[in-house]
Amino acid sequence: MVNIAVLGYGTVGSGVVEVLRTNQESIDNKAGEHINLKYVLDLREFPGDYIENVLVHDYDVILKDEDVKVVVEVMGGVNPAYSFVKSALLAGKSVCTSNKELVAKHGAELLAIAAEHKANFFFEASVGGGIPIIRPLNQSLTADEILEISGILNGTTNFILTKMDKEGVSYEEVLKEAQKLGYAERNPEADVEGYDACRKIAILSSLACGKQVDYEDIYTEGITKLTDLDFMYAKEMGLTIKLIGSAKKTGNRFSAMVSPKLISNEHPLAGVNGVMNAIFVKGNVLGDVMFYGAGAGKLPTASAVVSDVVDAVRHLGENVETKWSQEKLELIPHDEVCSNFFVRIKGSLDRLPEIEEKFGTVDTISITEGEFGFITGMMSEKAYADAAASTEGIISMIRYEK
C-alpha cells in the first residue's frame, strides 16, 4: 500500500478523489500497489463529505508523516504551494501537480530537488488538462529536435471564442458559463488576458529546449479586445480566430508568443472547439504530430494528475529524469519576430496608396461602411509597430498565421 496526500479540495482536488474512488481497482492494478488516500489538506471544513475523516488543516501533519510517499498539489497559485512542494521533495516525497504557475516559475528547481532526493516531480496536468503532452515531450519525442510547438492551451478562451464564432453569443455571457462549468481560473483575467496560456507555453518551450524559458519574457495578448465584427471579417475571409500559444525555433534561437491569431479553416487547430485544447508539435525528423483532448475541467485534469500518481508509485525511490535545466534561455526579442498582420482601419479603399506606402503590398477586404481591412505581407513586429504608429484610424490588429 502507498499512502498519498492531496493538498487542496477544490475543483481539481475533489476530481482527484473522485477519479481514485471511481477507478480504484484498475488504478491500483496499474500502479502495482494499493493507493490509499491518507490525508486531504484544506482550510475549509467539509461536513458529511467522503473526505471528512482524512481532512487536515495543518500541512506539517503530512510533511512529518514518513508513510506519505506521494503528495498531490492541486491548490493553485505559487504560494504557499511552492514551499509545500519544495519541503515535500526535500523530504523525499514525490509530488504530482496541476499547478502551471508553480511549474512555469519553479519547475527547473523543483525537478533538480526531486532528482537529488530520488523522488519525482510530475506535472502532466499543468498543460492541456487531460491531454498527455508532458510525458510524450519528455519520453517519446526524444529522437527529434523540436522546431515548433503551437497550441490552443486554454479551454476557457477557446470555449468563449467558439461560442462567439458559431453562435454569436456575447463575450460576458459565455465567460459566466465557463466559470460555472469549472473551466475558468479563480481570477478569469488569467484566462482571458492570456496569462494561463503564457505559463503553459513557457512550460512546453522549456521542455522542448531543456532550458528555463521565463514566462515574463513571452509576449502575451488576450482575447478581450475581439469583437463580433472581427469574426465577421474572419468568416468572409474563410478564416477563424483562435488564441494560440506558440514557440518556434529559428536557427539556434527560439521565439515564443501568446496572441489571438487568424487561421485558415483548413488549419489543424481550426477544428478544435469548445473547451478542447490541442497541441501541435513539429519535429525535425518526425514532422507534425498533434495532441487533442479536454483541456480543462474537473475530471479530465484529475485524470492527468492521477496518471502522475500511478507513475510516481511505479517509481518510488527512483528519479525519472526530465531535461529542464535552470539555465535561462534568451528568446528572440519580440520586435524581431515576423508575422502577417490583419488590420482594421477607418476610411475607404481610397486610402490604399497611403497604406501600401507604409505597410508594403497588402490584400484588402471591405464588409461594412466606414472601415475596411487589410492583410500585410510578412513583416517584423517592429516594422509593423512603426508603420501603425504613423497611420491614422487603426481600429484593431490580429496576427494572421498562414
The residues assigned a catalytic role are 200
Q: Is 208 in the site for ligand HSE (CB under 6 A)?
A: no
Cβ closer to ligand HSE: 69 or 105? 105
Q: Is 278 in the site for ligand HSE (CB under 6 A)?
A: no
Angle between helices 381-389 and 352-359 (to 10 degrees): 140
Among 295, 311, 339, 374, binds ligand HSE (CB under 6 A): 295
14 labeled part of a ligand binding site:
yes
Q: Which range touches ligand HSE (CB under 6 A), out of 14-22, 178-186, 221-229, 237-245?
A: 178-186
Q: Is 195 in the site for ligand HSE (CB under 6 A)?
A: no
Cβ closer to ligand HSE: 81 or 316? 81
Residues 117-156 touching ligand HSE, rule: CB under 6 A, are: 129, 154-156
293 labeled part of a ligand binding site:
no
Question: Judging by beta carbons within 10 Å of its beta carbon (0-12, 13-18, 19+), is residue 27 exposed, middle or buried?
Answer: buried
8 labeled part of a ligand binding site:
yes
Question: Judging by beta carbons within 10 Å of its beta carbon (0-12, 13-18, 19+), is residue 280 exposed, middle or buried?
Answer: buried
13 labeled part of a ligand binding site:
yes
Q: Is 16 in the site for ligand HSE (CB under 6 A)?
A: no
Cβ closer to ligand HSE: 73 or 196? 196
Among 85, 152, 184, 375, binds ligand HSE (CB under 6 A): 184
Determine the size of the site formed for ligand HSE (CB under 6 A).
11
Fill in the amino acid letter for 119.
A
Among 28, 101, 124, 185, binds ligand HSE (CB under 6 A): 185
User: Which set of grid coordinates corresponds to residue 187?
Assistant: 481570477
CB of 327 to ligand HSE, least distance (A): 27
At residue 144, φ and ψ (nearest 5 deg) are -105, 155
Q: Is 240 in the site for ligand HSE (CB under 6 A)?
A: no
Q: Is 196 in the site for ligand HSE (CB under 6 A)?
A: yes
Among 9, 122, 183, 231, binds ligand HSE (CB under 6 A): 183
Cβ closer to ligand HSE: 127 or 209? 127
Among 198, 296, 320, 337, binds ligand HSE (CB under 6 A): 296
100 labeled part of a ligand binding site:
yes
User: Which set of grid coordinates corresponds to residue 83?
Assistant: 514551499
Cβ closer to ligand HSE: 155 or 373? 155
Q: How far apart are CA 111 and CA 325, in angstroms?
A: 9
At residue 343, φ and ψ (nearest 5 deg) are -125, 135
CB of 52 to ligand HSE, least distance (A): 27
236 labeled part of a ligand binding site:
no
Q: Is 99 in the site for ligand HSE (CB under 6 A)?
A: no
Residue whose CB is nearest to ligand HSE in the complex, by number: 156
CB of 129 to ligand HSE, least distance (A): 5
Cβ closer to ligand HSE: 277 or 322? 277
- Which residues lie below 8 Å from residue 137, measured CB to CB, with a gap of 6+? 146, 204, 207, 208, 281
Q: Is 324 in the site for ligand HSE (CB under 6 A)?
A: no
| Binding-site ranges for ligand HSE (CB under 6 A) | 129, 154-156, 183-185, 191, 196, 295-296
Task: Give the residue numbers of the binding site for NADPH.
Answer: 100
Task: Give the residue numbers of the binding site for L-homoserine.
Answer: 185
Task: Give the residue numbers of the binding site.
Answer: 7-14, 100, 185
